[in-house]
Amino acid sequence: MQRVHFSAQDLARTVVKVAERPLVETLFALNLLARQGGGDAYASWRRRTTSRLGRRSGSLLPLARTLRTVPDLLHMAEGAANPETGTGRQNLTVMLEEFDKVALAPYWDRVSDTLNDDCAARGRTVLAGGVERLLSTLHPSVHWDGGVLEIPSHRSQDVVPDGAGLLLAPSLFLTDRPVLVPAAGPNRPPMLAYPAATGSVEAVLAAPAAEQNATDALGPLVGRTRAAIMQSLTESCTTTELGRRIGISAASASQHTSVLRNAGLITTQRRLNTARHSLTPLGAALLGGLHHRDLAKARLAHAQL
């Protein structure tokens, strides 16, 4: 159990807002993907993100499974800004930046709106009942009692903000319990990230319009599952990896790739017991042509406004 001990000054300086360190949300997203968390609501996002990561997932996801998201990964990632930091930490930062580009950046406008909506709702709670009411209703697993906020944790820790207050930050990628993030520096408040209230995670993390339109257009021609396979094969992968990306069994993936291969849309290279699939020029042209057509439609619609 972690315990945050509040003074009157800490209560006065406690605020609710979206975290200024987006790296924290990136790490929460990475942790959720690494442990295949979030249930069905995040299934499409997990599939698309794993597909876009391609071979990079082989080095990044195992690391996320072996380290606690906070504070270990956060400490390693932020340490890369130090000139004396080793190559390992610098490589981690590069990997996290690449992960952010495929996992968060395409959805960030909608994610940001959701987080800000949650902050606004918590603000109304403060207006109606004060900060103590906010802390006592923050999350079912969090307990407020006599100036102490108790947060479930695998370790025992007492935190004294010492007048800096507490930053309460909603997160879309925390789905089970709040996480206490250490203060970023002297006279800075610690941060308690908590699961944001959202009506539909699927809507917030829906595929970007161009990608969604291309899949919808290709689906009637080859079937939605095979269209998703072609989308995921912008970077080649094995049958097992393909099944994991799409969320189907390896046997089912093998059947679909056989159909696509016979149609000349993908090619398969076999080595020992492994089959690696790639788009053919025809498959890439078909997929790319649909993207270009959707882009042209969007530009025409914009010109007509």
pLDDT digits (tens, 9 = 90+) for 22-78: 678 888 898 898 888 888 888 888 888 887 777 777 777 877 777 665 666 666 555
DSSP assignment of the chain equals -EEEEPPHHHHHT-EE---S-HHHHHHHHHHHHHTT-SGGGGHHHHHHHHHHHGGGHHHHHHHHHHS-IIIIIHHHHHHTTSTT--HHHHHHHHHHHHHHHHHTGGGHHHHHHHHHHHHHHHHHHHHHHHHHHHHHTS-TT-EEETTEEEE--SS-EEE--TTS--EEEEESS--SS-EEE--SSTT---EEEEEPP-S-HHHHTPPPHHHHHHHHHHHHHH-HHHHHHHHHTTS-EEHHHHHHHHTS-HHHHHHHHHHHHHTTSEEEEEETTEEEEEE-HHHHHHHHHHHHHHHHHHHHHHHH-
Could you give the percent of the chain with pLDDT greater than 90? 23
Which residues does residue 4 pair with via DSSP β-bridges, in sequence order?
A: 149, 159
pLDDT in tens, 100-144: 888 888 888 888 889 999 999 999 999 999 999 999 999 999 999
Cβ neighbors of 10 (< 8 A, separation 6 or more) are 161, 162, 163, 164, 165, 166
Model pTM?
Answer: 0.66
For residue 97, the model assigns a pLDDT of 84
Query: What pLDDT sits at residue 105?
Result: 86
| CATH class of domain segment(s) 209-304 | mainly alpha
Residue 217: pLDDT above 90?
Answer: no
Mean pLDDT comparison of 163-177, 186-200, 224-238, highest-scoring range:
163-177
Average pLDDT in the 149-156 region?
A: 89
Work out the percent of the chain whose per-residue pLDDT is above 70: 80
How confident is the prediction for the chain on average, in pLDDT? 79
The stretch 175-195 carries a mean pLDDT of 86
Q: Domain coordinates of the chain in residue numbers?
A: 2-201, 209-304
Residue 212 scores a pLDDT above 80: no
| pLDDT over 70 at 8, yes or no | yes
Sort 44 into a burial class: Cβ within 10 Å, 0-12 / 13-18 / 19+: middle
